[in-house]
Amino acid sequence: MIASILPADVAAEAAYGDFAPEPADTLFPQESERIARAVPKRKHEFTTVRFLARRALLRLGQPPVPLLSNPRGAPRWPDGFVGSMTHCDGYRAAAVARSSRTAALGIDAEPDAPLPEGVLDAVALPDETERLKHLTERHPGVSWDRLLFSAKESVFKVWYPLTGRELDFSQAEISFDPVERTFSARLLVPGPLVDGRRLDVFAGRWIAERGLVASVIHIPR
């Protein structure tokens, strides 16, 4: 699903559920240590998404290596690569690209269902809330509030590796194109510098199918 909205030079792998092997059979020792006290559901999510990430990296010529996280929880990729992971109920995915061609990559998938009560108020700006109402009226069939949440997650997954700083939900404003299935994320704080140019807007794509919504942002070199 996510692969269909990513550039051709990005390697993506996905699964609609977890694989059968136990974490100890497919993880590096360093990775197993990180989730030793996690509940089984978390262990299987962690294991499957890293299996997918290693398979995607292998397609680009990178042999299997441990994929650990930084203190913020973002994955650390091998030298020469950037990537992103996502998992939600019923879906796991990883996407990777060579850093010589891609500056940053963010993917996020969510169930195509309304956000829990109160969450939209915490993540949406007033103008975004108004636009979501119009989208829901004119283009029903997509949980636009959940897609907004997904897009903001993808924004952060691109922002953080480029800046090393936090970004609040209120610091990026999302606008969706329901026909072209694209979106723009206007940063309300100074954007990151990429190859000497400041990025104040991230361009993304989205998809809704098989009971899921997903968003991607790809920043080329």
Integer Cα distance of 96 and 138 in angstroms:
35
Contact by Cβ (8 Å): 95, 105: yes
| In a shared domain, residues 86 and 43 | yes
Q: Helix, strand, or coil here: 220?
A: strand
What total number of domains does the chain contain? 2
Integer Cα distance of 189 and 167 in angstroms:
9
| In a shared domain, residues 87 and 177 | no
pTM: 0.95
| In a shared domain, residues 122 and 191 | yes
- Which range marks the domain in which residue 55 is found? 7-100
| In a shared domain, residues 73 and 116 | no
36: CATH:
3.90.470.20
| In a shared domain, residues 209 and 112 | yes
Indicate the residue among 79, 100, 121 that finishes a domain: 100
| In a shared domain, residues 80 and 118 | no
| In a shared domain, residues 216 and 154 | yes
| In a shared domain, residues 91 and 117 | no
Give a three-class secondary structure readout of 75-132.
ECCCCCEEEEEEEECCEEEEEEEECCCEEEEEEEEEECCCCCCCHHHHHCCHHHHHHH
Q: pLDDT tens string for the chain (221 positions)?
A: 999 999 999 999 999 988 755 666 689 999 999 999 999 999 999 999 999 999 999 999 999 999 999 888 889 999 999 999 999 999 999 999 999 999 999 999 999 999 999 999 999 999 999 999 999 999 999 999 999 999 999 999 999 999 999 999 999 999 999 999 999 999 999 999 999 999 999 999 999 999 999 999 999 99
| In a shared domain, residues 34 and 96 | yes
Residue listed under structure tokens 């897609």: 147
